[in-house]
Amino acid sequence: MSYAGSNPDPFDPSGPSGPPPPRRSPLRRPLTVALAALVPGALLGWLAYEASGGTGSGGANGSGAASSVLSSPANGEDGAGSRGGAGGDGKTGAGTGTASASSSAPAAGSGADSLRGKVVVIDPGHNPTNYRHTADINREVDIGTNRKECDTTGTSTNSGYSEAQFTLDVAHRLRTLLQRQGATVRLTQDGDRPFGPCVDERARIGNAAHADAVVSIHADGAGAGQRGFHVILPGAVHEGAADTRAIVAPSKDLGKLIAGDFTRTTGTSPSDYVGDGTGLVTREDLGGLNLSTVPKVFIECGNMRDTKDAALLTSGAWRQKAAQGISEGIVSFLHG
């Protein structure tokens, strides 16, 4: 393209200083006619050769350019296509076609449906609006061994980040991870009710779901300077409405696996103030455990009242690691 006032292009045939147009060769027309006569004959000969079982690139060996393109990794392993992008659902992305579906098929056997048929109940501790309903949450309920408050407001960091906010965020992240592997996941509350549920109802939700595993997510409110996480296991309780004898052993297995994976994934250490460094604590005074008839544990992910632990608990990246660690422990337990 030329602009007014610009220098003429010496290689532009339309320009004032361009070279003269080439002269046509007197042999051009006879050669064109000859080629037009030869091409159909050559094409017919090639078709006859293929029909007789030729071994060219599209012959008996079944390869050929089209097959090579379909089997190329570039057509089905680009992440955003065959592997479902950030969602990771293993479904074929738009425009990737059959080749993408074929190349992504192994993903289904490597974990996408590994928890299909399993039910996991996640119990986010407390409720973000419990503080508005003190009379309701202070009402006592039967926990088997005695009576206890329906629920509490939970603790918070010195900056005001509440335990209830923390537990719900981790629960959402954990739910996503487990659902990607095919599990049916239910939450005892999702910020969708004014308070609670009460501790006895939390247990009943897991029982009614016939859950294969239940995890109650919490963060502790211990003294400043005390750090680390711990997993709470149910003790052997057989009193009143409580009978945990059948779930003590599987709950301990679940707790050990979660503790190990939580340490590895988050890089944090077991509690230095309870559990003697094991990260495991057994209790018989928690209604959510006493009334459970399915394997269940609590995890206190850290101490919100310690500034170093609080820095972790308020980090979205660290909460994702926490959810990953809990998820991996659950998956290992469910796989047996």
Question: What confidence tier does 278 reach under pLDDT thresholds 50, 70, 90?
Answer: very high
Indicate whether 260 belongs to any domain. Answer: yes
User: Per-residue pLDDT tens for 195-246?
Assistant: 999 999 999 999 999 999 999 999 999 999 999 999 999 999 999 999 999 9
Residues in the chain: 336
Would you state the structure tokens that stand for residue 317, as one six-digit string? 């990246």
Q: List active site positions.
A: 300
Consecutive H or E run containing 137: helix 134-137
Q: How far apart are CA 243 and CA 293, in angstroms?
A: 8
Q: What tokens does 85 get?
A: 């992008």
pLDDT surpassing 60 at residue 41: no
Q: Which CATH number is 193's domain given? A: 3.40.630.40
Indicate the pLDDT class of residue 303, thresholds 50, 70 and 90.
very high
- The Cα diameter of the chain in Å comes to 112
Give Cα separations from 243 to 13, 15, 152 (angstroms): 97, 98, 24
* Domain assignment of residue 230, given as a range: 117-335
Domain assignment present for residue 323? The answer is yes
User: How far separated are the first and last CA of the chain, in Å rounded?
Assistant: 72
161, 146, 157, 171: which is closest to 307 by C-alpha? Answer: 157
DSSP of 66-120? HHHHHH-GGGT-SSSSTT-GGG---PPPTT-HHHHHHHHTHHIIIIITTTTT-EE
Looking at per-residue pLDDT, the higher value among 332 and 60 belongs to 332
| Average pLDDT of the chain, as a whole number | 78
| Count of domains observed in the chain | 1
For residue 196, tell me if it sits in a domain. yes
For residue 42, tell me if it sits in a domain.
no
pLDDT for res 280: 98
pLDDT at position 112, please?
78
Would you state the structure tokens that stand for residue 149, as one six-digit string? Answer: 């408050």
pLDDT in tens, 131-170: 999 999 999 999 999 999 999 999 999 999 999 999 999 9
